[in-house]
Structure 1
Amino acid sequence: MIEIQQVTKKFEGKKTSVTALKHVSLSVKEGQVVGLLGENGAGKTTLLRTIATLLEPTEGKVSVCGYDTKSSGNEVKKRIGVLFGGETGLYERLTARENLEYFAMLYGLSRHETKVRIDELARMFGMRDYLDRKVGGFSKGMRQKVAISRTLLHDPEIILFDEPTTGLDITSSNVFRQLVHQLKHKGKTIIFSSHIMEEVSMLCDSVAMMHMGELIYHGNIEDLYKSEGSRDLNYIFMSKLVRGNNHHAS
């Protein structure tokens, strides 16, 4: 489903060069929910952007559903939904409905499909009261709900979430978690980064841990708990950093 092979990403400046990813290899099977863990600057967002075709790897290769992200970017884009942190990408002068209708048009949805999907998502996220209000006056949580809805509009096979519950209240965060369970039940493949260890424990089949651009662990979450003798993900992550653990589980 997603194959990442020895990917390195360097950002070159006039005087400096920053290596955000260092020889990262990762395989994600269809229907898996993978939690991406790491401190700020660990390379999580760069990795997600590379999968989403927004960045090209300096070295290595990424393929999604058999399509190379470099040579077949448009085919990849048809199959993924993406949400990056606080970058909601919404137009403030348009209403929430108009924003969703605009992106639905870009995805090639028919008018009927668009109406049905917007109604479903508005009901799911409790957006019906402000669906026809301009986004410019929305709270952070309201914007995030619209942005998550935009990500899911075209019913993508693969969904990439970067800190998806940022700005959401407890109720909306719970709705999001229920949504992930529903998407998993439908066989969707999901990768999401989060600082909330409880969220990762609740939702993920496997976990990928990153540190300073390197993948320090990837494997089944239950196997990780057994090997570490603990179910405390925060403790496990910190202890791996201290030990300098470079074990790559499959």
Structure 2
Amino acid sequence: MYGNYDGENGSPEFDLFLGGNIWSTVKLNETSIVVTKEVVYLSQSENIYVCLGNKGKGSPFMSILELRFLGNDNTTYESPNGVLFFSRRWDFSSLPDSHVRYGEDVFDRIWVSRNFDYCREINTTLPVMSDNNSYNLSSLVMSTAITPRNTTQSIIMKLEGSDPTVRYFAYMHFAEVEDLSLRPNETREFEIRMKGVSIANFTPKYLQTDTFVLHPESETNIEFSLVRTPKSTLPPIINALEIYIANSSRNLSLTKRMMTRLRV
């Protein structure tokens, strides 16, 4: 947050560099707005360099720099060049403006609540396990899900205005939070579709996390949908969603997976 710390009443603009490679450009048009930049990457050494590049448009600055170790499993948040630039991270629930992070999330990912007008929340007070899931999802995040009020309706998520020059990575996290063993005549199965093409038929496991990773082609207005199958009596659900961007033009050579978050 700029806060007019230098008394110039300006709109600072400067570049961020990670290991000597361009990461992002920070533009601060309002003094009271917090700007956060986050990236998941594999470091090439024990030394990590985050630099601010002066563009002659105000003095560069940072308020907080955070570094989180994501473990040695290189299949988690995998990308073609080992770099994923954060786009959005949603915890699907009906609580407005709520956030989940460490210590509920072991990786200190910041989850922002999200819902759609046509959906309602379902939840459980029991722990949701992620033991066999390398993404280590927070039980608090996975204990809530959204589902359409109309049982025949689909869940549709659009990345409107997406950049056709980059590649997106979508991580959909699912867990059944209703004990359907108590409702033997009820079933939940749905198709996971990308741009209308079926990727898989899926039945969420009760209190167990499953993750689907989707790699949509680079284009504008990318659409994901969850569609009830004919044999299902219940509509689809989703608990959480993450979107990252992999830009092959940003060539970072990497070996150890980390998450860096910078706030200005």
TM class by shorter chain equals under 0.3
Say which one has the larger Rg.
Answer: 2
Normalising by structure 2, report the TM-score. 0.24
Q: Give the strand-richer structure, 1 or 2.
A: 2
Normalising by structure 1, report the TM-score. 0.25
